[in-house]
Amino acid sequence: MRPGAESVRRLRAAVGAVAILAGVAVPGRAVAEPSPAPAPATPVCELGDRRLAEISGMVATDDGFVMMNDGADDEARRRIFFLDSACAVARAVPYPSRPRDTEDLAVGADGTIWVGDIGDNDRTRQTIAVWRLAPGADRPVLYRMSYPDGAHDAEALLVTGDGRPVIVTKYSAVLYTPSTALRPGATVPLTRVGQVRLPATTTSNPFGGLGRSSVTGAATASDGRRVVLRTYADAFEFDVTGGDVITALTTGTPRITALPDEPQGESISYSRDGRSLFTVSEAAVAGTRPVILRYPLAEPAPAASPGAPTPSAGTADDRHRTAGRVGTAVVAAGGLGLAVLVGGLVVVTRSRRAGRR
């Protein structure tokens, strides 16, 4: 692509992100609160395989990890990589056709690996997709979907216990699920089912305020009782009751684990025992290789007794009106700064990727 066209494309992505943030994401953010004290991260292993150069999704398995890159120009990188516990690649499964922009991984209750082909920096895609790799299979199967309200950029994928994918958009944390069962060779409409209101934090990260609100990955605990969303700065863990992931995300209050100063954190997974979170950055510090990090999790607070009173959170409309008033003030005070942050993040992210290709 010519430099002029590239510049126009990046500018269009930045402007689109500003519009989304100003209209949807900012009103849902609470007033910033102090970040939690970060749990010490423990390095697990370094990724030495040069094919893993743009890691955008990861799940932990009983004997290692599964990873994939962001959509890569290099054909050798367009694989689903199975790693052992020392981060050595043991198997690499190719796609039967070229994916567009793979951004996250999830694992179903039956061990099926789901690849979220859901990235769309320019918001120009007519359809998005998921790839399903059944246990023991040597090729994933493609399923296409379409949004009901125009294109969105997304980097986070969850799968419910009954095998339903949940897509979380990057800048607005809106949730979409298929309206009917997925079918190979067909495009299934998506339905908007809610929006996540992540609390604001002050965790240090390379992208500042926008990095603390951009949803870049998601994961489900192996027992299905917890889900986590991550940004470039923090992990937000929600308790799930009765398998209802949507209600957990739209009404729950998350526990926060700070993930400070990861170079470009876009992947997250629970450990198989559910006691830790694993993360890995898409990019590494210059001259180094990406490293998987382990963050220990605090024990969830005990559940209230059945007869204990529960503070009222107000109706959904009350919460929406309150969030809207807060968001309006934030937008009025910081619109210009927000635009600069959005443009900077999008351009820097795309430039990093371009520089590696």
Query: Over the stretch 245-282, which tens digit does the pLDDT of each residue have?
Result: 999 999 999 999 999 999 999 999 999 999 999 999 98
Residue 136 has pLDDT above 60, yes or no: yes
Burial (CB < 10 A; 0-12, 13-18, 19+), residue 148, is exposed
Average pLDDT over residues 91-103: 96
Q: Please tell me the predicted confidence (pLDDT) of residue 189.
A: 98
- CB neighbour class for 326 (10 Å; exposed up to 12, middle 13-18, buried from 19): middle
Q: Which residues have a Cβ under 8 Å from the Cβ of 335 and sit 6 or more positions away?
A: 22
Mean pLDDT of 178-182: 97
State yes or no: pLDDT of 167 exceeds 70.
yes
Amino acid residing at 144:
R
With a cut of 80, say whether residue 116 has pLDDT above it: yes
Closest CA to 299 of 268, 269, 278, 276: 276
DSSP letter for each residue of 2-43? -HHHHHHHHHHHHHHHHHHIIIIIGGGPPPP-PPPPPPPPEE
pLDDT tens digits, 299-342: 665 544 334 343 333 333 333 333 343 343 333 334 444 444 44
The more confident residue out of 308 and 227 is: 227
* Coil, helix or strand at residue 72: coil
Residue 15 pLDDT:
39
Report yes or no: 51 and 77 within 8 Å, Cβ to Cβ: yes
Structure tokens at 102: 């793979």
Question: How many Å apart are CA 234 and CA 229, to the nearest integer?
Answer: 8
**Domain boundaries defined on the chain:** 37-300
CATH of 37-300, one of 1.10.8, 1.10.1740, 2.120.10, 3.40.50: 2.120.10
Cα Dmax for the chain:
66
Confidence category of residue 196, pLDDT binned at 50, 70, 90: very high
Average confidence (pLDDT) over 226-231? 98
Alpha-carbon distances of 309 from 253, 302, 306, rounded to whole Å: 17, 15, 9
Rounded Cα–Cα distance for residues 93 and 102 (Å): 14
Average pLDDT over residues 65-77: 90
User: How many other CB atoms are there within 10 angstroms of residue 304's CB atom?
Assistant: 9
Q: What are phi and psi of 191, to 5 degrees?
A: -120, 135
> Taking Cα atoms as reference points, which of 82, 89, 88 lies closest to residue 107?
82
In 3-state terms, the chain is what percent helix, strand and coil (to 5)?
25, 30, 45
